[in-house]
Amino acid sequence: MSSWTEFLNALSGYNEVTLVGPFNTSEHKPLTPTVYVDAGNHFRSVKRSGEELLSPCVSVGDGDSFTGEMDFLLPTQKDLSDLAFVLSSLPENITTVNLRGFLGGRRDHELANFGEVHAFLNQRQRFSRVDFSSATADFSVIAFTRGVLRINLKGVFSVFVFEPTQIVLNGACRYCLPKPTLITTASSLGLSNEGWGEVEVKSQKPCFVFRNIPESPTDIDSQ
């Protein structure tokens, strides 16, 4: 699929999309509609073949970290990242975004990725979530819009927000917040909790749950 507009139109029948970034570690076989973001194109398993047509796929970026052919080339001189461009383009019917290979590397870039996800979720009208995962990072992250996330957690986890937010935290965890509690930006108040089952996180603004891996808990979200 060579057109960015065609790809976005093809998303009308889906609620989930995967974005593959520079710190992925192996070829990615698309099981959901997939965007290979700049250097993420190194992990494109089958290029423009019948197998890839099982799910809509496209590559997007400004080419600063990938020199091969790109489906949609962005300008190098721009005031937003390639990830920000993709997130801002996704239609409202996309309520789950899987980010593969966006953890690691330069800390300032990683922090900017969290900031762009916060901005993306802050603008969504429907309950939505963004899942970060990486084979090279020692943690994974689930971020969600205003609402309630129910997640099965085992081991150490932390809850962070990127703007002051009222949080309620209940369930199978060591430190609960049964009443709405104001957490400030990147506060240590949500740091180093411990879970051993289903935990419910209710937030008035986008919220990030950091968890240790190799745990692979089953997540259930609801508004």
pTM as predicted: 0.90
CB of 213 closer than 8 Å to CB of 154:
no
Rg, Å, the chain Cα set: 18
At position 82, the amino acid (one-letter code) is: D
Tens of pLDDT, residues 103-130: 988 899 999 999 999 999 999 999 999 9
**Band of pLDDT at residue 46, cut at 50, 70 and 90:** low
Task: Note the pLDDT of residue 48.
Answer: 52
Residues in the chain: 223
